[in-house]
């Protein structure tokens, strides 16, 4: 399969390559058709600026990374950072910024819904004014959300209001994905960033240790030119996880709290199955507890894979291997689960107390070992 690379002007390839003043970080997943026109638009918008663009690709299936590398061989302003085994817009932006050395860094999407013609105005504000961060805003005079339907606009407005719970600064569009900042703004906040979800600007504003001097510039949100949107039904969940991390993450890790919540659901599943199994006249308590343990363990695995470890979600054969590893790693905990529950039941014959006792022991094992082995980062 062949991919066409963007044309490169003679100025870019003659003389010594100068250090970039501006790095534009563009996270991608299956955005091959947008890469070439986006680079051309950026080049047209920034004449006379020493810029580079880093595409942070989450192992696209359509050859996005291959195309970017092909372009990079012809144009030193184009770079590819390909990530294997992990996904996430916010974490991709963080890695892209850390891979650069420019004094100014910008973040924008690959789908060309952000207006690249705003980039020189953003850069000029940072050069000339006492400003740390310039945001492309849809919600100030002159900005807009384009042809969004009422439902999507309403959801965006509601999320914007929620985001102010954690935002440390007055801003009209904290959910914007289009902004430019001085490098030191990222460097001062990077160790506090959660990297969760898809709203890196909100994460940055909520994590900054000091007051950020901010200015918003209006732009009109455009329609996606190629490909399909990456927004799915769990984006709201990721947004909620980000808010939770900024609200209570300093008290208890949000991933642990979510794992415990799913464990509580699993406990309900466990007790329901145990009660049903005990109604079968041919099953003793140990057999019923074993069945309930297996069902609860399976439900916990799939719920944690879908929600708790969404950024490390297992798919395909890895899903099957992960489930098997989850069973094997938790086998000792399951044996202890059944043993403790049977002992408690034999002592006082209170089935629900026996079930809870065994399930608690099993849940401790599940969390301790699965976070290290089943959903380990590759």
Give ∠ CA 131-137-139 in degrees, rounded to 5. Answer: 130
CA–CA distance from 301 to each of 28, 266, 311, 368 (Å)?
29, 10, 15, 13
Cα(230)–Cα(64) distance, rounded to whole angstroms? 15
Q: Check whether residue 167 and residue 47 sit in a common domain.
A: yes
For residue 86, what are its two tokens?
Answer: 């992990």
Give pLDDT, residue 218. Answer: 93
- Domain boundary (173, 201, 233) is at 233
**Sequence-ordered list of residues with C-beta below 8 angstroms from that of 99, at least 6 positions apart, any chain:** 54, 79, 81
Proportion of the chain above pLDDT 90, given as a percent: 32
CATH code for the domain in which residue 194 is found: 3.90.550.10
Distance between alpha carbon 265 and the CA centroid of its chain, in Å?
24
Which pLDDT tens digit goes with each residue over 165-202? 667 677 888 878 899 999 999 898 888 887 776 678 88
Which residue in the block uniquely carries the two structure tokens 């051309």?
Answer: 40
Q: Check whether residue 204 and residue 79 sit in a common domain.
A: yes
Q: Check whether residue 44 and residue 171 sit in a common domain.
A: yes
Which pLDDT tens digit goes with each residue over 286-326? 888 889 888 988 998 999 888 888 767 888 888 998 988 88
- Burial class of residue 199, CB neighbours in 10 A (0-12, 13-18, 19+): buried
Q: Check whether residue 147 and residue 267 sit in a common domain.
A: no
| Closest to 116 (Cα-Cα) out of 104, 126, 124, 108 | 108
| Closest to 143 (Cα-Cα) out of 223, 217, 219 | 219
- Domain boundary (233, 266, 284) is at 233
What's the whole-number average pLDDT of the chain?
A: 81
Q: Check whether residue 298 and residue 338 sit in a common domain.
A: yes
352 vs 138 pLDDT, higher one:
138
Q: Check whether residue 300 and residue 166 sit in a common domain.
A: no
Which pLDDT tens digit goes with each residue over 317-326? 889 989 888 8
Q: Check whether residue 315 and residue 362 sit in a common domain.
A: yes
Q: Check whether residue 188 and residue 267 sit in a common domain.
A: no
Say if 269 falls within a structural domain. yes
Cα(42)–Cα(117) distance, rounded to whole angstroms? 8
Say if 5 falls within a structural domain. no
User: What's the N-to-C CA distance of the chain in angstroms?
Assistant: 28
Q: Check whether residue 88 and residue 211 sit in a common domain.
A: yes
- Domain boundary (198, 233, 268) is at 233
Which pLDDT tens digit goes with each residue over 124-168? 999 999 999 999 998 888 888 766 556 655 666 666 666 666 676
H or E, element range at 355: helix 351-369
**Sequence-ordered list of residues with C-beta below 8 angstroms from that of 123, at least 6 positions apart, any chain:** 21, 22, 46, 49, 104, 180
C-beta separation of 32 from 114 below 8 A: no
Specify the pTM. 0.69
Say if 355 falls within a structural domain. yes
| Whether pLDDT at 227 is above 60 | no
Say if 330 falls within a structural domain. yes
Q: Check whether residue 201 and residue 296 sit in a common domain.
A: no
Give pLDDT, residue 5. Answer: 46
C-beta separation of 64 from 5 below 8 A: no
Which pLDDT tens digit goes with each residue over 32-65? 999 999 999 999 999 999 999 999 999 899 999 9
Give pLDDT, residue 115. Answer: 92
Say if 128 falls within a structural domain. yes
* Coil vs helix vs strand at 72: helix
DSSP string, 229-298: ----TTHHHHHHHHHHHHHHTTTS-HHHHHHHHHHHHHHHHHHHHHHHHHTSTT--HHHHHHHHHHHHHH
Q: Check whether residue 212 and residue 261 sit in a common domain.
A: no
Using 50, 70 and 90 to split pLDDT, how confident is the model at 14? very low
Q: Check whether residue 180 and residue 262 sit in a common domain.
A: no
Range of the domain at 336: 254-374
Each residue of 239-259: b (16+ CB within 10 Å) or e?
bbbbbbbbeebeeeebbebbb
In the sheet that holds 22-28, the strands lie side by side as: 78-82, 51-57, 22-28, 104-107, 179-182, 133-137, 214-218
Structural domain count, the chain: 2
Say if 150 falls within a structural domain. yes
Using 50, 70 and 90 to split pLDDT, how confident is the model at 1? very low
Say if 246 falls within a structural domain. no
Say if 187 falls within a structural domain. yes
């Amino acid at each position: 399969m062949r991919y066409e690379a963007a044309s490169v002007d003679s100025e870019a390839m003659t003389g010594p390559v100068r250090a970039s003043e501006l790095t534009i970080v563009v996270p991608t997943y299956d955005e091959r058709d947008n890469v070439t026109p986006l680079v051309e638009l950026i080049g047209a918008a920034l004449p006379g600026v020493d810029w580079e663009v880093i595409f942070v690709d989450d192992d696209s299936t359509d050859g996005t990374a291959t195309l970017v590398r092909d372009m990079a061989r012809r144009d030193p302003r184009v770079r590819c950072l390909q990530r294997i085994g992990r996904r996430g817009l916010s974490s991709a932006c963080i890695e892209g910024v850390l891979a650069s050395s420019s004094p100014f860094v910008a973040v924008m999407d690959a789908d060309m819904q952000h207006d690249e013609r705003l980039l020189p105005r953003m850069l000029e504000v940072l050069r000339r004014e006492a400003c740390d961060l310039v945001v492309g805003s849809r919600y100030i005079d002159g900005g807009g959300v384009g042809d969004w339907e009422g439902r999507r606009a309403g959801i965006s407005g509601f999320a914007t209001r929620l985001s102010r719970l954690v935002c440390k600064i007055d801003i009209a569009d904290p959910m914007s994905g289009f902004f430019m900042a001085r490098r030191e703004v990222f460097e001062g906040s990077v160790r506090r960033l959660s990297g969760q979800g898809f709203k890196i600007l909100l994460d940055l504003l909520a994590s900054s240790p000091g007051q950020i001097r901010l200015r918003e510039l209006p732009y009109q949100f455009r329609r996606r030119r190629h490909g399909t949107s990456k927004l799915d039904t769990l984006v709201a969940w990721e947004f909620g996880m980000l808010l939770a991390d900024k609200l209570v993450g300093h008290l208890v890790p949000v991933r642990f709290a979510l794992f415990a919540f799913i464990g509580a659901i699993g406990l309900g599943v466990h007790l329901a199955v145990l009660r049903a199994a005990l109604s079968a006249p041919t099953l003793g308590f140990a057999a019923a507890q074993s069945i309930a343990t297996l069902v609860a363990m399976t439900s916990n695995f799939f719920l944690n894979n879908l929600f708790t470890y969404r950024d490390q979600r297992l798919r395909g054969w890895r899903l099957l291997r992960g489930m098997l590893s989850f069973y094997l790693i938790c086998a000792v905990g399951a044996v202890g689960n059944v043993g403790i529950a049977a002992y408690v039941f034999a002592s006082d014959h209170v089935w629900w107390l026996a079930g809870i006792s065994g399930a608690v022991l099993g849940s401790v094992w599940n969390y301790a070992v699965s976070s290290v082995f089943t959903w380990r980062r590759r």
